[in-house]
Amino acid sequence: MTRQPETDLWWKKTTVYQIYPRSFMDSSGNGIGDLEGIISKLDYVKDLGVETIWFSPFYTSPQEDFGYDIANYKDIAPEYGTMANCDKLIQEIHDRGMKIIMDLVLNHTSDKHPWFLESKSSRDNPKRDWYVWQDGKKPKGKAPPNNWQARITGSGWYYDENTDQWYWAQFLPFQPDLNYRNPEVKAKMFGTVRFWLEKGADGFRLDIIDSLYEDAAFRNNPLSRHLLPSEDGVLFKSTKMTMHHPDTMIFVQELRKLIDEYSNPSRFLVGEVEGPMPTIKKYCGEVNNPGLNSIFLFETLGVKLQPKTIRKLLNKFNQYYPDPFIPTWVSSNHDIMRRISRFNNDLEIAKLNAALQLTARAVPYIYYGEEIGLQQNSIPLSDSLDAVVSRFRKLPKVIQKLLQKITSEAIHRDNCRTPMQWTPSQNAGFCSPSIKPWLPVSSGYQDRNVETMYNNPDSILHCYKRFLQIRKQYSVLNSGRMTLIASELLPKQVLGFSRWIKTSDVKEEVNIFLNFEDTLVEFSNPTASKNIIASTTIVKAENNEQKIILRPYEAIIME
């Protein structure tokens, strides 16, 4: 596959659109999204204005965790299509001048993977040491080797009667962790990365990459102050021995060297990493010894839309990710409550959130459906297909309700993975009205769908398109620096910042103003900008170069 060389770091300027393949478009008539369905909608994605698509996994899998439990890294799950379909998808994306990011789960495999089936067959199997096995404690080894907790609570150790040992699984029981202290495993997975780079992948999103290595001595995790998952641990135990191991930092630097061999075009890595900012920044390495190109900064997922809060977060990102590093801005994803549902499904607030995401200094990640206001579903726990829910079904109902209220996105992920809404017809155009989709379509699809919103120039869909187009047209918005406008120059409900680039004696600059309240606000223009080049609404107030008027929840870009 011949590609044109590139001289700039495209990934720092791009906007990424995440597609959950199972829920995007069904072309085969089984109620499950597939690769041909995605191909049929690539023109829509291109027209939206994004440049890069990130796909959740569509590799061969028993689908117990809907693709994040991989049974073959080099083949395609039959419900999604074939490798020929995948090759076509990659080519069609590149033909449109777009990039493709593959989701890669390096931490674990499915327990149905041939490697694990061999590993658990006997203690002396050649692949035994491909996974993390340990003897148990107490008489006859019937207790776990130590106190390590899985990321979703409960012990992460699982007993195998056949070989009388325990295997370690950082996430779910059917996702045993690979043992990267075995050089054969490391070589095999690096080979997998090369396989997809040769296929044309432009980069990888790395699932729970912060858990790759564990303490080699299998020491207990110390106590923590926290019951619920936090930066410090879960269920009163820290994650010191099971996350952010120094050997993981070394691994990502080696992986970066591997992908940097493929420079025509350049490739990139974005990691799913959780923890305090000083810790997760280490995954990026240093300028002369780089690691991941970027990391998901999950503070944006639940941040309150308040000027003081956003100002503080933007300053924090600038502090930790100055050039040549760059932060990310994520509002939703396949594991987390849809952002609009944190705003009581208010479309105007969602437009404001989009404007912030697409103008701040960061790489924006848009989760499919955000551009039409697709809202969180409310599927009962009893009907959930999500394997995470099974971990909580045995708990008392009172505890279940408390956990769901506090961390609903963490224990019932079906609700943010429902089918994309294309039309106002039954099943929202995702699949035939006569077919039952794999998950029920969210409520409100009759109004919140692509077809309806295309016909409304003031819709959230057109708001996304306006801001994405301006982001492409003005290099200051995709690669410029950012300076916050002093808060004393603005009303308390308004946040303002500049995006700028200075070359020689020429300075290009645009200014962004966001009104975070449901009231019209008027104030003196603190900048030299005169013209509004984009707004979240097409019903603009009467602004001039001395005065700025913002309608409720309006955001504008001025030059």
pLDDT digits (tens, 9 = 90+) for 336-360: 999 999 999 999 999 999 999 999 9
Structural domains of the chain, count? 2
CA distance 559 to 545: 10
Which pLDDT tens digit goes with each residue over 177-234?
Answer: 999 999 999 999 999 999 999 999 999 999 999 999 999 999 999 987 655 555 566 5
Look up the CATH number of the domain holding residue 93. Answer: 3.20.20.80
Q: Which of 26, 34, 103, 272 is catalytic?
A: 272
* 414 and 512 belong to one structural domain: no
Q: Does some domain include residue 3?
A: no
CA distance 460 to 466: 10
Give the count of beta carbons closer than 10 Å to the beta carbon of residue 480.
18
Look up the pTM and report it.
0.95
Domain ends where: 463, 496, 523? Answer: 463
For residue 254, the enclosing domain spans 13-109+182-223+240-463
Q: Does some domain include residue 7?
A: no
Local confidence pLDDT in tens for the 559 residues of the chain: 334 444 468 999 999 999 999 999 999 999 999 999 999 999 999 999 999 999 999 999 999 999 999 999 999 999 999 999 999 999 999 999 999 999 999 999 999 999 999 999 999 999 999 999 999 998 877 899 999 999 887 899 999 999 999 999 999 999 999 999 999 999 999 999 999 999 999 999 999 999 999 999 999 999 876 555 555 665 557 899 999 999 999 999 999 999 999 988 899 999 999 999 999 999 999 999 999 999 999 999 999 999 999 999 999 999 999 999 999 999 999 999 999 999 999 999 999 999 999 999 999 999 999 999 999 999 888 888 999 887 776 667 676 666 666 554 557 899 999 999 999 999 999 999 999 999 999 999 999 999 999 999 999 999 999 999 999 999 999 999 999 999 999 999 999 999 999 887 788 999 999 999 999 999 999 999 999 999 999 987 666 678 999 999 999 999 9
Q: What is the token pair recorded at 139?
A: 């008489």
* 398 and 540 belong to one structural domain: no
* 206 and 329 belong to one structural domain: yes
CA distance 231 to 275: 5
Domain ends where: 463, 492, 516? Answer: 463
Active site residue 92: no
Closest CA to 427 of 446, 455, 413: 446
Q: Which of 26, 65, 111, 207 is catalytic?
A: 207
Active site residue 274: no
* 499 and 431 belong to one structural domain: no
- Exposed e or buried b per residue across 36-65, where buried means at least 16 C-beta atoms within 10 angstroms of its C-beta: bbbbebbeebbebbbbbbbbbbbbbbbbbb
Give the count of beta carbons closer than 10 Å to the beta carbon of residue 487.
14
Which pLDDT tens digit goes with each residue over 431-468?
Answer: 999 999 999 999 999 999 999 999 999 999 999 999 99
